[in-house]
Amino acid sequence: MADSAPLRFHVPEPEVRPGDTPDFSKVVIPEAGSVERPPVDAEPESIRKLAFSIIRVLNRKGEAVGPWAGALTDAELTDGLRHMMTLRAFDARMQMAQRQGKTSFYMQHLGEEAVSTAFRKALEKGDMNFPTYRQAGLLIADAYPMVDMMNQIFSNDHDPLKGRQLPVMYSSREHGFFTISGNLATQFVQAVGWAMASAISGDTRIAAAWIGDGSTAESDFHSALVFASTYKAPVILNVVNNQWAISTFQGIARGGAGTFAARGLGFGIASLRVDGNDYLAVHAVAKWAAERARSNLGPTLVEYVTYRAGAHSTSDDPSAYRPKTESDAWPLGDPILRLKNHLIVRGIWSEERHKQAEAEVMDGVIAAQKEAERHGTLHSGGKPSVRDIFEGLYEEMPPHLRRQRQQAGV
């Protein structure tokens, strides 16, 4: 032992920092259409390599190719494009509203629009998502009223959540969108419980859990894998790998080896990686996983390989920790542009239609914003009542809260 070298402590570092040239050379991108599509009842063991590859449908020319292509109709595709454009326009307006002091905080989806909007379309009514804060596309793709989303963001007197939640922490049972927690990862295991309950009840509905790459380090992520694999819960376990957790690169949660999808392999969970900027690939994989869950074949772990092109939130400045041009260098491109090009190649879209659609979408968002602002913004106009502080904590208000409400004079 005496001649052992001193131990060294290892801290993973990203390839580049501000001022460096962006470098995604280590991200291995398989060609679109090159990854197999196993039957939904495939044994997890037999498809281990899908946890290390990336399933892609749209190629560089905008064509849909390979075994995962072909599931969506023209109308579904143009709807999908519109949902992504709506989310992007919504983000732009709400980001600006925050800068104007109309709300305290906002989190945008720039670059990740395909993940939630395409996923939503693979679920059925009654299925339940347990989202985190970057899946507003689940609501938009399910036609949840945009005005209500804005009322929530403005915490005005029409806020469905009565001013109790941070902006973007929506809730809608009706739209299969579980109430969001600010505490990362807690929802991941709750989704598994919901799915277990559905199976216990002999229901046909399934659950979907959502988590970011950074948050997979939380114990609740691992708890969820244990319960999902033990009880073969009908749940889709979604990891959105957008490369960054605020300023921390994904290697800090993952270490140097493997992938986030590979986390499922030790649990015997079917695990796949998919191009998160490819609307068709996301939809196809989600559909595959949903069918698997619904056929009592158990959980699937899906890693969406994507890139957070915007800031983490309105409180973040990404130029302090990554090269400014890194998002342009991201090899999987922009999800809206890619679907747009595909629709043009398919002959059902054009540059003019796109411009027109952009204008229409923005008009819709602006109209919704006007309506929401009529009810008030965070610091002006209508507010939820002070009574709402005390109401609805318990189904029936206990005496100590009644006393405190009286003390507050409401």
Ligand X SMILES: Cc1ncc(C[n+]2csc(CCOP(=O)(O)OP(=O)(O)O)c2C)c(N)n1
Which spans of this chain sit near other proteins (rule: CB under 8 A)? 128, 130, 160-162, 164-165, 169, 171-173, 178-179, 181, 183, 186, 188-201, 207, 219-220, 223-224, 226-227, 230, 392-395, 398-400
- Tell me if 228 sits within 8 A of 235, measured CB to CB: yes
Among the listed residues 12, 20, 36, 183, the single contact to ligand X using CB under 6 A: 183
By the rule CB under 6 A, 335 interacts with ligand X: no
Selection from other proteins, ligand X, none that 407 binds (CB < 5 to 8 A by kind) is: none
Q: Measured between alpha carbons, how far is 198 from 207 in angstroms, rounded to an integer?
A: 9
By the rule CB under 6 A, 312 interacts with ligand X: yes
By the rule CB under 6 A, 318 interacts with ligand X: no
By the rule CB under 6 A, 137 interacts with ligand X: no
C-alpha dihedral (66, 72, 77, 79), degrees to nearest 10:
-150
Selection from other proteins, ligand X, none that 56 binds (CB < 5 to 8 A by kind) is: none
> What x-and-dash track marks residues 246-275 binding ligand X by CB under 6 A?
x-----------------------------
The token pair that represents 90 in the structure block: 């919504």
Among the listed residues 101, 126, 182, 258, the single contact to ligand X using CB under 6 A: 182
AA identity, residue 301: L
**Pairing state of beta strands 128-130 and 207-212?**
parallel
**Pairing state of beta strands 300-305 and 207-212?**
unpaired
Among the listed residues 244, 249, 260, 267, the single contact to ligand X using CB under 6 A: 244
Other CB atoms within a 10 A radius of the CB of residue 375 amount to: 17
CB of 377 to other proteins, least distance (A): 19
By the rule CB under 6 A, 184 interacts with ligand X: yes
159 vs 373 by CB, closer to other proteins = 159
Q: Which residues of 66-103 are buried (b: 16+ CB within 10 A; e: fewer)?
A: bebbeebeeeebbebbbbbbbbbbbbebbbebbeeebb
∠ CA 400-402-407, rounded to 5°: 95
The token pair that represents 175 in the structure block: 């739209």
Kindly list the residues in this chain that would bind ligand X in the complex (CB under 6 A). 134, 182-184, 212-215, 240, 242, 244-246, 308, 312
